[in-house]
A and B are shown apart, each in its own frame.
Chain A
Amino acid sequence: MGIWNKSTIALGVAALMSSSVWAQDKPFAGVELKMLGIGDTSVTRVAPLVGEFEALTGIKVQIDQLPYPGLIDKIIVESSSDSPTYQLLWIDSPWVGLLGEAGALEDLTSRAKRDAAEIGLDDIVPIQLQENTWQGKLLAFPASGMTWLQQYRADLLENPDEQANFKKKYGYDLAPAKTWIQYRDIAEFFTRKKGDLAGGKPLENDLYGVSQSYSRVQGAITHDYFPFMRSFGGDYWDPKTGLCAMTGEPHIKAAEYMQSLIPFNPPDYLGLMWDIQSGFMERGEAAEAAYWSVRSVRLTNPEEAVLAKIGKAGFAANPESDAGPQPTYTGTLGFAVNAKSQDKEKDAAWEFIKWATSEKLMRRFADEGKGVSQFRKSILGDAKLQEKYPYYKVLLDSQVNARRRIFHPFYQAVEENFGVELSKYMAGETATAKEALTTACNAVNTQLQMFSVEQRLRWINDAPAEVLKK
């Protein structure tokens, strides 16, 4: 055997050995994944870092970012295809029932149990896991945990002159609202015109007392109405029949309350969707907003919100109605695996989810000041981070007594019908809240009545996440 032959064999053996080490280190090397995601914090933060994940695992991930309206439609089309383009799906928690019942999402329960220590399962706020379950199965993993909370211009509410004037007018101290009546008073008080004084400075733009969602597009108005409705003591379903029951007194009160806030909202209130609504707070043009914490982080970042430069954002748990304290209204933005993906892709997708939602990465986001709305107790409870992000404490404390958001296979029918009918009521096209809610409920019930009571009751009952069982 010549020297060349020996060398060739030695090189071959070395190559085989190194590839075997490679295979052990990176069992999914070469797998390519595509993610259907949203162009918002839960994805935009992680998207620029996928190269780091590829270097770590050899898995290549491409993330397509789409706007929220229409995203669920694309996921449904994707999940009805036998050869999916996307293995990873971004999920808003109310979609879990819809996609879960259709069998579109991979059950992550066994993987989460197997890797419980690695993913820090105990570190996750329990309701955030529950948000991602359907019939007890974990179908998505939290990437951003949300509550519907109160955001306000702390610089204005803490201003001594404003406080004195407020007390003179309303007879009580100006502070973050404890009741929805106070919330409306504050909105009325701070509704001012360009050139008026606010916090001792002349306003460069109109200041609106409040900004809430009233747009019908993708049911945006329901994303504010449902939390209001629950805060007024209402529920979605009749516990005996499983049919839509959003026509009672609390439901009407909530709709009427939302309508009473209109004079203090921007004049184009019927066009207010999430990003437009939160834009008013970010630009410092609204005094307060009851809104999802998903964008709270932007309010504290001067690179993303004018408010962080010209004033100061404050955060508090939501006010109460005359129904008394109600559980916090939560939501989760999660990452899921397309059930129609190939097995190796599913496992690789789970690796990505573990990495993208890891405590290490979440803490890094928080340290860099560009965090997502967090869902890990260790991060939300970190004293230093709480100082940096005042809403962390609100998020952590308020989720002790929390109840998950709507979850139902007919969620889209609920969102769309209530979106249109409530928007018509707010525009003054429908005379009463009762009429609007009854029309919307009837439209949903027309579809639900074709199913047995047992089936409907199964859909409305929240089975505890199996991964939470000890």
Chain B
Amino acid sequence: MKHTVSRDRRIALVFLLPAVVILFVTTIYPMLYALWLSFRSYDLSKPFIPRVFVGVANYVEVLSSPAFLHALLTTFKLMAMTLSVQVVLGVGIALLVTQKLPGMAVVRTLLLIPMMISPVIVGLVWLFLYFPELGYLNYFLSLVGIGPVAWITSTGWALTAIAIADIWQWTPFFMMGTAAALQSLSPEPYEAARIDGNSRFDVFRYITLPQLKPVIISLLFLRAIDAFKIYDIIFVLTKGGPADATEVISLYIYRQSFTFWRMGVGAAASFVSLIIITVFITFFFRSLQRSQAALAR
């Protein structure tokens, strides 16, 4: 019996090994290497600079850099703009597409398309729309006597323009998750509410929304992590500009690593942002859980 257990374990280990090796090579080793790098002076473009251990100097530089703090603030601003609209729109569209109407299955599928497109392509699509001189958006606005709007070349509009593109791409994510949740809700409370003569708004507010909350929170959790890392769309549309209007954390890290080639500083900035997003998400969800628990009481 004992012999069989140890044999089973060995077989299990053999089956696990490829996954562990792949995980180590693709995730653990690069992460450890980046951590090691974050404590060193390492400039890829200047081999004459000694590549030595510098302690926490890179972390101090990042945390005391106004550009990093600005990028952090811009990231959170963008997250607030996109996530709030995506939740509202996503839930609203989900309520519409779960109605028992003809053709809804097709509509649902069509609405998912933006989410399936690569962010770089999304960036290019919106670049054609936003392009200052030749963009379609300004053309259509000009037909009704508006504009031209400097969508991606004015510091006042650029972040909003990025947010619109991100909302367009990721609202379907909320729509899909919420629609799935809506379809799995138990019909009994609705029947009881109908018998009691409640309005549709009350039904939504007191029955649907509380039941959807755990799903919405999970979706928010996933999107918040993703939104914090936003890079592709911004790189294609504005590259962090105009001025520093759309310079988010990922762009800051990119600039340190691949424009200044200061790999140590770039690695340190990556770890600082990892810690910040972990703390933020933990705090955010603990407070949501607390408010949920309070509501349940």
Q: Give the residues in chain A near B153, CB-CB below 8 Å.
A: 215, 268-271
Given contact pairs A102-B46, A429-B155, A412 touches B241 in the complex (Cβ within 8 A): no
Looking across the interface, which residue of chain A has its beta carbon closest to that of B241?
A: A216
Given contact pairs A215-B241, A216-B241, A270-B243, A413 touches B132 in the complex (Cβ within 8 A): no
Q: Flag whether A131 is at the interface (Cβ < 8 A).
A: no
Shortest CB-to-CB span from A110 to chain B, Å, is 23
Q: Flag whether A171 is at the interface (Cβ < 8 A).
A: no
Pair B239/A271 contact, Cβ less than 8 Å: no
Pair A270/B46 contact, Cβ less than 8 Å: no
Q: Flag whether B287 is at the interface (Cβ < 8 A).
A: no
Pair B260/A423 contact, Cβ less than 8 Å: no
Shortest CB-to-CB span from B90 to chain A, Å, is 32
Pair A427/B46 contact, Cβ less than 8 Å: no
- A269 and B255 CA atoms in complex are apart in Å by 23
Q: Flag whether B261 is at the interface (Cβ < 8 A).
A: yes
Question: Beta-carbon contacts of A255-278 to B below 8 Å, as 1s and 0s?
Answer: 000000000001111110000000
Pair B132/A409 contact, Cβ less than 8 Å: no
Q: Flag whether B69 is at the interface (Cβ < 8 A).
A: no
Shortest CB-to-CB span from A102 to chain B, Å, is 6
Pair A412/B260 contact, Cβ less than 8 Å: yes
- Choose among B48, B152, B243 the residue that contacts A420 (Cβ–Cβ < 8 A): B243
Shortest CB-to-CB span from A289 to chain B, Å, is 16
Question: Beta-carbon contacts of B132-159 to A below 8 Å, as 1s and 0s?
Answer: 1100000000000000101011110000
Pair B45/A270 contact, Cβ less than 8 Å: no
Q: Flag whether A416 is at the interface (Cβ < 8 A).
A: yes
Pair B47/A103 contact, Cβ less than 8 Å: yes
Pair B260/A215 contact, Cβ less than 8 Å: no
Q: Give the residues in chain A near B258, CB-CB below 8 Å.
A: 73
- A459 and B44 CA atoms in complex are apart in Å by 19
Q: Flag whether B177 is at the interface (Cβ < 8 A).
A: no
Pair A271/B152 contact, Cβ less than 8 Å: yes
Looking across the interface, which residue of chain A has its beta carbon closest to that of B43?
A: A447
Q: Flag whether B240 is at the interface (Cβ < 8 A).
A: yes
Pair B155/A267 contact, Cβ less than 8 Å: no
Shortest CB-to-CB span from B28 to chain A, Å, is 24
The majority secondary structure among interface residues of chain B is loop
Q: Flag whether B244 is at the interface (Cβ < 8 A).
A: yes
Shortest CB-to-CB span from B228 to chain A, Å, is 22
Q: Flag whether A76 is at the interface (Cβ < 8 A).
A: yes
Interface residues on B, range: 20 to 34
- A212 and B282 CA atoms in complex are apart in Å by 48
- A269 and B132 CA atoms in complex are apart in Å by 10
Q: Give the residues in chain B near A270, CB-CB below 8 Å.
A: 150, 153-155, 241-243
Looking across the interface, which residue of chain B has its beta carbon closest to that of A270?
A: B242
- Choose among A80, A271, A429 the residue that contacts B150 (Cβ–Cβ < 8 A): A271
Pair A427/B155 contact, Cβ less than 8 Å: yes
Q: Flag whether B259 is at the interface (Cβ < 8 A).
A: yes
Shortest CB-to-CB span from A372 to chain B, Å, is 27
Pair B150/A423 contact, Cβ less than 8 Å: no
Question: Beta-carbon contacts of B232-250 to A below 8 Å, as 1s and 0s?
Answer: 0000000111111100000
Q: Flag whether A312 is at the interface (Cβ < 8 A).
A: no
Q: Flag whether A89 is at the interface (Cβ < 8 A).
A: no
Pair B45/A412 contact, Cβ less than 8 Å: yes
Q: Give the residues in chain A near B152, CB-CB below 8 Å.
A: 271
Question: Beta-carbon contacts of B249-267 to A below 8 Å, as 1s and 0s?
Answer: 0000001001111000000
Question: Beta-carbon contacts of B28-70 to A below 8 Å, as 1s and 0s?
Answer: 0000000000000000111111000000000000000001000
Given contact pairs A269-B153, A423-B241, A423-B243, A76 touches B132 in the complex (Cβ within 8 A): no
Shortest CB-to-CB span from A157 to chain B, Å, is 24
Pair A423/B242 contact, Cβ less than 8 Å: yes
Q: Which residues of chain A (323-361) have a CB below 8 Å from chain B?
A: none
Pair A409/B46 contact, Cβ less than 8 Å: yes
Pair B240/A271 contact, Cβ less than 8 Å: no
Q: Flag whether A47 is at the interface (Cβ < 8 A).
A: no
Q: Which residues of chain A (236-290) have a CB below 8 Å from chain B?
A: 266-271
- A397 and B132 CA atoms in complex are apart in Å by 38
Q: Give the residues in chain A near B155, CB-CB below 8 Å.
A: 270, 427-429
Pair B148/A267 contact, Cβ less than 8 Å: yes
Q: Give the residues in chain B near A428, CB-CB below 8 Å.
A: 155
Q: Give the residues in chain A near B261, CB-CB below 8 Å.
A: 76, 412
- A412 and B49 CA atoms in complex are apart in Å by 15
Given contact pairs A216-B242, A217-B241, A427-B242, A268 touches B44 in the complex (Cβ within 8 A): no
Looking across the interface, which residue of chain B has its beta carbon closest to that of A216?
A: B241
- A420 and B239 CA atoms in complex are apart in Å by 11
Given contact pairs A80-B44, A270-B155, A412-B45, A73 touches B243 in the complex (Cβ within 8 A): no
Pair B260/A413 contact, Cβ less than 8 Å: yes
Looking across the interface, which residue of chain A has its beta carbon closest to that of B152?
A: A271
Interface centre among A69, A420, A450 (most CB of B within 10 A): A420
Q: Flag whether A98 is at the interface (Cβ < 8 A).
A: yes
Looking across the interface, which residue of chain B has its beta carbon closest to that of A420?
A: B244
Question: Beta-carbon contacts of B104-142 to A below 8 Å, as 1s and 0s?
Answer: 000000000000000000000000000011000000000
Pair A427/B243 contact, Cβ less than 8 Å: yes
Pair A271/B45 contact, Cβ less than 8 Å: no
Shortest CB-to-CB span from B128 to chain A, Å, is 14
Q: Give the residues in chain B near A215, CB-CB below 8 Å.
A: 153, 241-242
Pair A429/B132 contact, Cβ less than 8 Å: no
Pair B259/A416 contact, Cβ less than 8 Å: yes
Q: Give the residues in chain A near B45, CB-CB below 8 Å.
A: 76, 80, 98, 102, 412
Q: Flag whether A424 is at the interface (Cβ < 8 A).
A: yes
- A217 and B254 CA atoms in complex are apart in Å by 13
- A427 and B245 CA atoms in complex are apart in Å by 10
- A217 and B133 CA atoms in complex are apart in Å by 18
Q: Give the residues in chain B near A161, CB-CB below 8 Å.
A: none
Shortest CB-to-CB span from A280 to chain B, Å, is 9
Q: Give the residues in chain B near A217, CB-CB below 8 Å.
A: 239, 241
Q: Flag whether A101 is at the interface (Cβ < 8 A).
A: yes
Looking across the interface, which residue of chain B has its beta carbon closest to that of A443?
A: B67
Q: Which residues of chain A (348-400) have a CB below 8 Å from chain B?
A: none
- A429 and B67 CA atoms in complex are apart in Å by 14
Looking across the interface, which residue of chain A has its beta carbon closest to that of B44?
A: A80
Given contact pairs A267-B150, A268-B153, A409-B46, A216 touches B132 in the complex (Cβ within 8 A): no
Interface centre among B47, B48, B241, B261 (most CB of A within 10 A): B241
Q: Give the residues in chain A near B48, CB-CB below 8 Å.
A: 101-102, 409
Show 16 residue pairs from A and B whose CB-CB distance is below 8 angstroms, ordered by the A residue. A77-B44, A80-B44, A80-B45, A102-B45, A102-B47, A216-B240, A268-B132, A271-B152, A412-B259, A412-B261, A416-B259, A420-B244, A423-B243, A427-B245, A428-B155, A429-B244
Given A76-B44, A216-B240, A270-B241; 7 other pairs, CB 8 A cutoff: A80-B47, A266-B133, A271-B153, A412-B45, A423-B243, A423-B244, A450-B49
Chain B residues proximal to chain A, CB less than 8 Å: 44-49, 67, 132-133, 148, 150, 152-155, 239-245, 255, 258-261
6 A-B pairs with least C-beta separation: A271-B153, A270-B242, A268-B132, A268-B153, A424-B243, A427-B243
